[in-house]
Amino acid sequence: MMTDTPAHPGLISLQGIGKSYQLAGQHLSILNDVCLSIARGDSCGILGASGSGKSTLLNILGLLDLPDGGQYRFAGHDIFSASPDELAAIRNQQIGFVFQSFNLLPRLSALDNVALPLSYRGVSRHESVEQALRVLEQVGLAERAHHRPADLSGGQRQRVAIARALVGKPSVILADEPTGNLDSSTAQDIMDLLLALNREQQVTLIIVTHDAHIAERLERKILVRNGVVHEAGRP
Amino acid sequence: MSLRVEQSLSQLLHEAFVSLRTLGKRSILALLGIVIGSSSVVALINIGHNAAMDAALIFKDMGTDTLIAQFPPKGDSRVPMRSRLDLDAVRQAVPGIAHIGALSLFSGPIVFHGRSVNANFVGSTPDIPAALRLVLREGRYLSTFDANETYGVIGDQIAQALGAPGEPLKLGDRVRINDYLFLVVGILHNQPRAMLMPVQANESLFIPADGMRRIYASPQIGNVIIRAAPGQDMERIARDAAAALQRQLTEHTVDITVPQQMIDGMTRQSRTFAYLLLALGAISLVGGGVGVMNVMLMNVSERRREIGIRMALGARQRDIRNLFLLEAITLTAVGALCGAVLGMTAAWLYAWLSGWAFALAVAALPLGVGSTLLVGLFFGIYPAVSASRLQPVEALRDE
């Protein structure tokens, strides 16, 4: 497995990351000694069976969960020494999340959902709505801006979610089974959209999937098996 | 990259608006407690204020510079009260008295042109009009030279009742009491009711004290009215006047009422009452606050996933805390506004039913609404902080 030199850590660099839980008095080791580095503009698939630890890895990559030990640098920040507020700010400005179950807020319109990340940056309401509308246009949903998520189809909801991930101009999009709840042709559209963003805007793309067809379309394939990470096609 | 940012005001306002729009039925039930609490605080403060204003009105015409002396008999003494007192001696003994007059009272029918009305006959000394603040509409008051005359000064209501349309009671008319005709030399203006005074001028005929014997065999002095010069110590004048009057009496004691003492007593009483009402309002507010806390805790547990999503999108702990605090305050603000309207309506109704003039208490609205918002803030903090303590990965996990 290749490791970058400390001088060029890339966008994301994990060294010896471990994570374990205490569950019902049992010690469960989820991730063991994970070393991984991802450069700006990469597109990676994280593959593995259920329970292999790939979701935990994604949560750690997305700063939603803290590892027990190791070293993690994200865009130059040492994650272990960052305060919760700083982690929130990094999530807000550098990471865009796309979830399997979309995770839109049902009380807000599509437009307000997309504008939400900007509100945590001190952008005024007027300006954030303008930017959100522009991104919704980009994903082809401008005419649905004022619909509630409940009034949208699955594919449209995922487009709104992608627009929400994009609105903050992140350096990484983390997608957890983004096509898991969609039919195959809609899934194809969503993947096309994500890959186009990776290609045209150099957004780093990290997709958790168990679908080999999706993994085929990504440059790197990272396999997680029993808490250990291998990269396919690399020594 | 800057890591410190605050949500802009326009975004916060938008969040508050969304939460207001999506208030559920349960929130409305929780609001009920808040509405009752805040309306009772607003209503009670206002009702208390109006009651105090009404009480103040009673004393307004009497003034706090007036003293009323009564003469209860000593022990079992059956000796009637004297029919005259040396008021000049009292005036000389006590500095600071502006006016002093004695009243002896009797009541009975008064007849004019065949019309008969019951009235109080007030045997009065010449200083009485000044002591009682009587105002003449026509004619003059009784003077020292009228002591032996059958002259009378008549109160407004009696004059109205004795007169007839087209034939009003005029100066120079004679009214009959028993077998005596009294010449009307003065007619009084309508006087407001003076609650603490022994006589109501409107329903009285004032005649010279010495003439009382004509209509009543053994007239007695009922009261002595003293009006102090401005800026005097009323307690001292009451004490000295009582001592001076006592010197002339053997079988009676002197009992002087100081209006200020009564005002103080009433104020104390109404203040105790107001505190009691306020405590009731506060208790219902706390009840409402617990309701708000309950709704907010349910809200937080129902929206765990939303909290997780917001955290993933970059909300800091304090943003989540502010979100739920803002919702709790928006909720209570709606309750406080409804309560303010309801409370004012209740206070107005109460004033209307009691026949008081309705006046807005300055403190009622800010105190009522402010205390309600504080309750919302206090009971909203715990749910909001517990929401903000959630870990993003736990909040996002499926149940």
Taking only the tens place, the pLDDT of each residue in B57-79 is 766 656 678 888 888 888 777 78
Tell me which chain B residues have a C-beta less than 8 angstroms from the C-beta of A86: 3
Task: Tell me how far apart the alpha carbons of residues B32 and A234 are, in angstroms, rounded to a whole number.
Answer: 66
- The verdict on residue A198 lying in a domain is yes
B395 to chain A, closest Cα gap in Å: 10
Residue A6 has pLDDT above 60, yes or no: no
B317 touches chain A (CB under 8 A): yes
Q: Show which of residues 197-216 on chain A sit within 8 Å of chain B, judged by CB atoms.
A: none
CATH number of the domain where residue A177 is located = 3.40.50.300
If one compares A227 and B192, the residue with the highest pLDDT of the two is A227
- The verdict on residue A1 lying in a domain is no
Q: Counting Cβ atoms within 10 Å, is residue B78 exposed (0-12), middle (13-18) or buried (19+)?
A: exposed
Task: Tell me how far apart the alpha carbons of residues A11 and A82 are, in angstroms, rounded to a whole number.
Answer: 16
- Interval A69-108: pLDDT, tens: 889 999 889 999 999 999 999 999 999 999 988 999 998 9
**pLDDT, averaged across chain B:** 84
Query: H helices within A35-81, ranges in order?
Result: 54-61
* Chain B residue with the nearest C-alpha to that of A93: B314
The type of residue at A176 is D
Residue A172 has pLDDT above 60, yes or no: yes
CA distance between the termini of chain A: 6
Of B1, B317, B392, the CB nearest to A93: B1
- H/E element, A46: strand A43-47
* Residue pairs between chains A and B whose CB atoms are closer than 8 Å: 93
Task: Write out the residue range of the structural domain in which residue A21 sits.
Answer: 12-232
Residue B335 has pLDDT above 60, yes or no: yes
- Interval A30-77: pLDDT, tens: 898 899 999 999 999 999 888 888 888 999 999 999 899 889 999 889
* Mutant choice from B3, B388, B398 vs A, greatest count of A C-beta within 10 A: B3
C-alpha dihedral, A124 to A125 to A130 to A132, nearest 10°? 110
Q: Which of B176-190, B278-292, B300-314 has the lowest mean pLDDT?
A: B278-292
Q: Measuring CA to CA, how many Å separate A88 from each of A82, A85, A93, A94, B5?
A: 10, 5, 9, 10, 11
B304 touches chain A (CB under 8 A): no
Closest CA to A233 of B139, A218, B197: A218
Closest CA to B274 of B7, B1, B53, B17: B53
Residue A235 has pLDDT above 50, yes or no: no
| Banded model confidence at residue B398, pLDDT cuts 50, 70, 90 | low
- The verdict on residue A6 lying in a domain is no
**B136 DSSP assignment:** E
Residue A136 has pLDDT above 90, yes or no: yes
Which of helix, strand or coil describes residue B320?
A: helix
pLDDT at A4: 42
A103 touches chain B (CB under 8 A): yes
What is the SS3 string spanning B14-77? HHHHHHHHCCCHHHHHHHHHHHHHHHHHHHHHHHHHHHHHHHHHHHHCCCCCEEEEECCECCCC
Domain boundaries, chain B: 9-58+264-396, 72-253
- The verdict on residue A65 lying in a domain is yes
pLDDT at A109: 92
Mean pLDDT within B1-6: 57
Closest CA to A216 of A202, A230, A233: A233
pLDDT at B1: 47
pLDDT at A95: 94
If one compares B311 and A50, the residue with the highest pLDDT of the two is B311
Contact A65 B6 (CB under 8 A): no
pLDDT at A2: 42
CB B247 within 8 A of CB B86: no
Count how many domains chain A has.
1
Query: Under 8 Å CB-to-CB from B380, ≥6 apart: which residues?
Result: B292, B293, B296, B324, B325, B327, B328, B329, B332
pLDDT at B63: 66
Residue B142 has pLDDT above 80, yes or no: yes
Tell me which chain B residues have a C-beta less than 8 angstroms from the C-beta of A128: 11
- Interval B144-163: pLDDT, tens: 888 888 899 999 888 888 88
Q: Show which of residues 365-394 on chain B sit within 8 Å of chain A, judged by CB atoms.
A: 391-393
**What proportion of chain B, given as a percentage, has pLDDT over 90?**
14
- The verdict on residue A214 lying in a domain is yes
pLDDT at B342: 92
Bridge partner list, A36:
A14
Residue B4 has pLDDT above 60, yes or no: no
Bridge partner list, A206:
A44, A174
- Interval B230-278: pLDDT, tens: 878 888 888 898 888 888 888 888 888 887 777 778 778 777 877 787 7
